[in-house]
Structures are given as C-alpha cells and as structure tokens.
C-alpha cells in the first residue's frame, strides 16, 4: 500500500491526455504506458536488491551515502526537503483542496483547506508508524475502489464506445514518430515515479530485506495493471482524439456514463487519491531528514524519536510546516518545474550504485557497512537491466533539460546551494 500510494496521485485521473496529444493510436498510447511500467519495474528490481543489501533508515539516502559519499546523500536529502517532497506535497494538497471545495462547497479558501489537510496528516503520522500506515492503507483501498469504478464505467456504461482495432501506427516509422514517443514517455515516467519512497521506512519494518523487496515488486506491478486498465477505459470511452482534446479525461468518462452525478463521484475519488498520496509522503520522507540528522549533517533535534511512538516527530513536523508554507505561498507550481530533471538524476545515481556494490570484493568493508548477505534478492538480467534503467533516467533528464532549460538550471542551482550547507554541518559536527 505504501509503494502504490507513493505512485498514484491525481495524475492518472487527469494527465493521460498529454500522452494522447503526442501519439495518436490506441496501440501507441497503451504501448507508451506499458513501456513506462516496464522501466518502473526495472527500477523496483534495483531498489529491491538495494533494500536487501542495506535495510537502513532513510533508504535511498543510505544507498547514496554508502555508494558514493555522505555529501551526495546530503544533497539528495537537501533537494528532497526544500523542493522535491515538500513542493510536490504542496501541489497535491492544493489539488485536493480544489476537489474538496467542489464537493462540499465549504466556505473556506483553497489555501486553508490545503494547510488543514497537511496539518492533520502531520499530526496522524506523529502518532506512530501504525497510525500512519493504517490511514495510508485505508486511503489506498478507497483509491483502488475509485480507479476500479472509473474503469468499470468506462468499459460497461458508455453508450457508444470507440473501436480499439485502429491501425497500430498513424504514420510511417521515422525520426518524427520516435521523437513523439519520447515526448509521450516523459509524463508517463513521472506518473510512475514515487515507488522509491517506500525505501525510506526500511529501518522501521520487521523484515525489510524480505518485505520491502516483495512490496516494491507487487506494488509496482499492481500500479502498472491499474494504469493500463484506466487508459484502456479512456480510449474505449473517448477514443484517441477525444482523449487528446480533454484535460479532464476521468471526469469526461464519468460524465458520459452518469452525467454530472458521475463527474461529482469521480471528483470524490480524485480527492481521496490526492489525500492518500499526501499521507504516504508524510509517512515516508521524514525518515531521510532523520537519517541526515543522525549522521550529524542536519539539526540534531531532527533525529529525536518520540519516547512513546518511536517516530521522528520533529522531522515529520518540519516537512509538514515547509509544505504548508509552500502551499500557502502559491509558488508550488514554479518550484515543481524546477525539479523535473533533478528528481531523475537521483534515480539514475541510485540505480548506478548497484554497479558499485556488486563490484566491491572487500567482505570486511561490506560487512562493516551493513552485514550484507551474499544470498538474497538479486536483480534479474543485471547488468543489462540495470543499465537500461540508468539510460532511461539519463534520457529523461536530457529531454527535460532540452525542453525546459531555464527551469532545469534553477533546479540545479537549488541543489548546488546544498554544497556550502553540507560543509557547514560538517564543520559544526567537528566542534
């Protein structure tokens, strides 16, 4: 549930039209979503092996620290705290507020609803892992129900469905077609992102080497099936041209099935989905800031564990406060644009760390970093499959930098500002 909750937000209900504007046949549209799922599964295999090797608190932060240098891990945590996680949560919280107000017509501002949602989830997750995971499980179950409802309505309750037997390609294979497929892959890759955040809570699992690897693989496979089913329903109900023409495909499908009542029903489903995404982010990411503080690279108090609930309550509160500030400021859209390329830099670096870990032969050194067992989960097809995932991340970064050079540069600058911060914490730690 944590893996799936980290992937599925509001995007699958809204953003499929972006893909349909780039590629125009059912075969290509579903093919792009399938290809994105395969890449996500390759990433899940890699993170599953990394989780088996280093079942530490902080997950991805720990992998980067052990593979490269503490400074690289710090820069990752720095970007996560200042932009990637808090900015993403602020944007999703504002999306939640739009749908919440559409449903309830409450006399509150969107910013107030977003802040209240973030504050409530911050409090719930400070009550302990069991409380946070219980809320996450409940919201994820409701999210799956909403997606199943959307798929069912798109397939069985549409009066005039569209044919799915159109030609596979609408133009000859050419550089233009390959460029269009590449452009369509960008939103798909981002839609599949988020499964890596489950690794952050590895240190609080009873059997992380077994259960985190299993959860990653089952969770990603589940999301691939859900995404393919939703896009099939969109195409069956709307067809490629109508899908490309609407910025709200889920609402369009439900409106065809049940009129305005259907549109209101899916608005409720989207609100639940966004709340589930926020719950997952509040549960997982603060473990990275906790690990940074524990390493002496952040405020020492952030590593404080509540004596009763045994959760990093101050780290959770810090993330919640920053997300609220960004949501209220209204600058979240700009901030999200800055980190489009930065996020996949960390994906690629983390995946490449597996080559480093596999190449180490000094057993004493390996054991001192985590008592790594030789037996355990291993990525099938390594190094080819791992190399393919790293290449996919590199292409995503290059494509984003090419398309949004200014925003990518700003994202890089935000990361670079973490360099003096790292040396400051190192200096402070020696005092």
Phi-psi region of 379 (alpha: psi -120 to 50; beta: other; left: phi over 0): beta
Angle at 423 between CA 303 and CA 416, to 5 degrees: 100
Q: Calculate the alpha carbon distances from 3 to 63, 220, 251 in Å.
A: 18, 7, 26
CATH superfamily name and code, 2-430: Amino acid/polyamine transporter I (1.20.1740.10)
35-44, 143-152, 184-193, 196-205: range with lowest mean pLDDT: 196-205
Q: Find out whether the peptide bond into 383 is cis, omega within 30 degrees of 0.
A: yes
Give the tens place of pLDDT for each residue, 35-72.
999 999 999 899 888 888 887 767 889 899 999 999 99
Nearest by Cα to 312 from 278, 284, 281, 280: 284
- Residues present in the chain in total: 431
Residue 181: partners with Cβ closer than 8 Å, 6 or more residues away? 22, 23, 28, 32
CA angle at 116 for the pair 250 and 81, rounded to the nearest 5°:
85
**Which pLDDT belongs to residue 31?**
94
Pure H helices in 1-59: 2-7, 11-14, 16-22, 26-53
Q: Which two tokens stand for residue 355?
A: 């080559």
Domain ranges within the chain, ordered by starting residue: 2-430
pLDDT at 9 over 90: no
pLDDT in the model for residue 377: 79
CB of 372 closer than 8 Å to CB of 53: yes
* Residue 241 Ramachandran class (φ > 0 left, ψ -120 to 50 alpha, else beta): alpha
Distances (CA, A) of 13 to 227, 285, 421: 10, 24, 39
**Which single residue is written with the structure tokens 């590629």?**
23
Report the alpha-carbon distance of residue 77 to residue 65 in Å, rounded. Answer: 11
**Percentage of the residues of the chain whose pLDDT score is greater than 70:** 93
* DSSP-assigned letter for residue 377: -
Sign of CA dihedral 105, 110, 114, 116: negative
Q: What percent of the chain has pLDDT over 90?
A: 27
End-to-end CA distance of the chain: 43
Rounded Cα distance, 231 and 212, in Å: 28
Distance, CA of 297 to CA of 17 (rounded, Å): 43
d(CA 81, CA 277): 17
The yes-or-no verdict on residue 19 having pLDDT over 80 is yes
The predicted model gives 245-254 an average pLDDT of 88
* Mean pLDDT rounded to a whole number for the chain: 84
pLDDT in tens, 79-132: 888 888 888 888 888 888 888 888 888 888 888 999 999 999 999 888 877 777
Tokens found for residue 427? 């200096």
pTM assigned to the model: 0.82
Helices then strands, counting H and E runs in the chain, come out as 20, 0
pLDDT for the residue numbered 364: 46
- Residue 375 backbone zone (phi > 0: left; psi -120 to 50: alpha; other: beta): beta
């Amino acid at each position: 549930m944590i893996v799936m909750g980290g992937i599925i937000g509001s995007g699958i209900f809204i953003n499929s039209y972006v893909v349909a504007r780039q590629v125009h046949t059912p075969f290509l549209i579903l093919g792009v979503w399938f290809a994105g799922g395969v890449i996500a599964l390759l990433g899940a295999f890699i993170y599953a092996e990394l989780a088996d090797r280093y079942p530490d608190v902080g997950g991805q932060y720990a992998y980067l620290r052990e593979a490269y240098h503490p400074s690289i891990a710090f820069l990752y945590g720095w970007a996560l705290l200042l932009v990637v996680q808090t900015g993403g949560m602020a944007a999703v919280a504002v999306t939640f507020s739009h749908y919440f107000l559409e449903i309830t017509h409450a006399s509150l501002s969107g910013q107030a609803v977003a802040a209240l949602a973030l504050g409530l989830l911050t409090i719930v997750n400070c009550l302990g892992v069991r409380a946070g995971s219980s809320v996450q499980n409940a919201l994820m179950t409701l999210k799956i129900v909403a997606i199943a409802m959307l798929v069912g309505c798109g397939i069985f309750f549409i009066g005039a469905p569209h044919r799915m037997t159109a030609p596979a390609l609408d133009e000859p294979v050419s550089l233009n077609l390959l460029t269009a497929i590449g452009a369509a892959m960008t939103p798909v890759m981002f839609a599949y992102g988020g499964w890596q955040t489950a690794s952050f809570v590895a240190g609080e699992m009873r059997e992380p080497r077994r259960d985190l690897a299993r959860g990653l693989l089952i969770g990603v496979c589940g999301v691939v099936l859900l995404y393919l089913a939703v896009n099939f329903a969109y195409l069956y109900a709307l067809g490629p041209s109508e899908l490309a023409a609407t910025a709200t495909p889920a609402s369009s499908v439900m409106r065809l099935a049940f009129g305005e009542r259907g549109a209101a029903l899916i608005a409720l489903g989207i609100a639940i989905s966004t709340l589930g995404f926020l719950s997952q982010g509040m549960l997982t990411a603060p473990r990275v800031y906790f690990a940074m503080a524990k390493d002496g690279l952040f405020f020492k108090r952030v590593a404080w564990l509540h004596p009763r609930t045994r959760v990093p309550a101050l780290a959770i509160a810090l993330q919640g406060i920053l997300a609220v500030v960004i949501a209220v400021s209204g600058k979240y859209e700009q901030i999200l644009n800055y980190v489009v390329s930065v996020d996949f830099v960390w994906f690629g670096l983390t995946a490449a760390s597996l080559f480093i870990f596999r190449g180490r032969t000094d057993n004493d050194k390996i054991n001192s970093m985590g008592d790594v067992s030789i037996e355990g989960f291993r990525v099938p097809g390594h190094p080819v499959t791992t190399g393919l995932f790293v290449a996919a991340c590199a292409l995503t970064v290059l494509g984003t930098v090419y398309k949004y050079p200014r925003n990518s540069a700003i994202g890089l600058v935000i990361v670079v500002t973490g360099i003096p911060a790292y040396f400051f914490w190192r200096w402070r730690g020696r005092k």
